[in-house]
Amino acid sequence: MAQINEKLSKLLKEVGEVVDLNNKSSAVWALPQNQHVMIVKHKALEKISAHLGMWFDAPKIVESDTEKKIVSLVVQGYIDDGKGKNTAWSIGEVSPDNYKTYAKQSSYPYAMAEKRAIDRVILKLLGVHGDFYSQAEIDEAETSDNKPDNETDKKLVAMVKEILISCLQIQNTREELIGYWKGNLKPRETLKSLSTEAYQEVEIAFKERAKTIEQGEDNGK
């Protein structure tokens, strides 16, 4: 089982959240179907964000297709850690592959995409993204012990693969692309441990994006 990060644990306690893997009220827990995947409550991340004075730019829509029920948007976030301003960005996406609605809840894909993007930015600014995922990443029904392991793993694979490939497409220089690839080692390792096939798809997307960037640079000479 993965361990709760000491820094994150301290911050959660500072904002009044319970941190105990054996307590159902805990703000962080291990996914029942995969004990190496740690989940943090969305509301708890919002509290930490406010506590640390994080701020965010308005989301920018990358893709919107209401017919296919697909939404992707980018959020940029900031924090002043006392040594200067740090920044991070992430994409939040909703599609039929990673977001389901149930009878008791309405479908708000734009709100969910924004929630996912902001939560990822918060985790990045805390330096724990890849080790921890937001509750917004996982459908409520999938955190139940009654869900088969392979179904939850499929959702996690689809989510991580989609994030990585979407972000690769908006890297515009070799330096940006390589920096993004190296900076997301932990999510890549998580994906590789769950699905070699999905990881290979990400590798192919990386190589294709690198080729496209190289061709663009050559044409610009």
Helices (H), 79-184: 109-126, 149-168, 174-183
* Closest by Cα among 140, 186, 144 to 163: 186
Q: What is the DSSP string of 12-31?
A: HHHTT----TT-TT-SEEEE
pLDDT at 129 (0 to 100): 85
Q: What pTM was estimated for this model as a whole?
A: 0.66
Contacts of 100 (CB under 8 A, 6+ apart): 139, 141
Distance CA 105, CA 84 (A): 41
Distance CA 75, CA 117 (A): 6
Tell me the three state secondary structure of residue 107.
Answer: coil
**pLDDT over threshold 60, residue 8:** yes
pLDDT at 119 (0 to 100): 95
Distance CA 181, CA 62 (A): 20
**pLDDT over threshold 90, residue 21:** no
pLDDT bucket at 104, cuts 50 / 70 / 90:
very low
pLDDT bucket at 219, cuts 50 / 70 / 90:
low
The full set of domain ranges for the chain reads 6-219
* Phi, psi (rounded to 5 degrees) for 170: -105, 15
Higher pLDDT, 36 or 144: 36
Which stretch of 91-95, 97-101, 138-142 has the lowest confidence by average pLDDT?
A: 138-142
Report the pLDDT averaged over residues 11-21.
92
Higher pLDDT, 35 or 14: 14
pLDDT bucket at 100, cuts 50 / 70 / 90:
low
The pLDDT tens digits for 132-153 are 889 888 754 344 443 434 666 7
Report the pLDDT averaged over residues 157-179.
86
pLDDT bucket at 75, cuts 50 / 70 / 90:
very high
Residue 8: both structure tokens together: 């994150």
Higher pLDDT, 29 or 104: 29
Distance CA 73, CA 69 (A): 13
Mean pLDDT for all residues in the chain: 82
